[in-house]
A and B are shown apart, each in its own frame.
Chain A
Amino acid sequence: GAGVSQSPRYKVAKRGQDVALRCDPISGHVSLFWYQQALGQGPEFLTYFQNEAQLDKSGLPSDRFFAERPEGSVSTLKIQRTQQEDSAVYLCASSQREGVDEKLFFGSGTQLSVL
């Protein structure tokens, strides 16, 4: 595709509900990142994929957070039993290759509000 696509754009969940956020990276991009951005803060790293392999999930805040990229393209970030502190914008980014000189391209994000 022309850019990184994320859906839904907005998600409102009741506390305790499960949510699934989708990221469709630029076609052919090997690396995929998920970030969490609270209001007025910079993006905080959650997890990183190289193709279908999840190489780093050190930023996931709890075991309620789970991410997958089964075919090395589309990725899903799932949050179980959502809590109010999960309210944030979830950003997905991709880059063409695994490498030190690769530029990151971001989607528009999913704004999650937990009531």
Chain B
Amino acid sequence: KQEVTQIPAALSVPEGENLVLNCSFTDSAIYNLQWFRQDPGKGLTSLLLIQSSQREQTSGRLNASLDKSSGRSTLYIAASQPGDSATYLCAVKSAGGSYIPTFGRGTSLIVHP
């Protein structure tokens, strides 16, 4: 059974810092990995989707990388802003015959001015 771990669980940084959020998974046989953002009391908003054949995806100040063989993905946030404060979740779709994405617990990020 796929297990997804996100480190750190919480992070508080001053505005302007570059950040790295980590996501690890136990079964490297995956189809894709998706990063989401969740604001308090809201649903999940998709940030980036990386296919298993890809190494990274970029959108604006966000860059996500995937190292499938080592079971890891990182989300890099450049020049963080207070508006980036949210919980960041990764979800892994395993190649085990089921198309069910498995989520980590998330990293709660606070960027203070």
Contact = CB atoms under 8 A, between A and B. Distances in A.
Contacts of A35: 103
A107 B38 CA distance: 11
Interface of A: 4, 6, 31, 33, 35, 40-45, 48, 56, 91, 93, 98-101, 103-109, 111
B44 interface: yes
B42 A104 contact: no
B99 A100 contact: yes
B100 interface: yes
Contacts of A99: 99
A6 B44 CA distance: 13
B43 interface: yes
Contacts of A4: 43
Interface residues of B, number: 28
A10 to B, nearest CB: 10
Given A48-B100, A111-B41, 19 more contacts: A33-B101, A40-B105, A42-B6, A42-B105, A56-B98, A91-B43, A99-B99, A100-B51, A100-B95, A103-B46, A104-B44, A104-B101, A106-B36, A106-B43, A106-B44, A106-B45, A106-B46, A108-B42, A108-B43
B76 interface: no
Contacts of B49: 101, 103
A43 B102 CA distance: 8
- Per CB-CB distance, the 5 closest pairs between chain A and chain B, nearest first, are A100-B31, A42-B103, A106-B43, A106-B44, A108-B43
Q: With a 10 A CB-CB cut-off, give which of A91, A100, A103 has the most chain B CB atoms.
A: A100
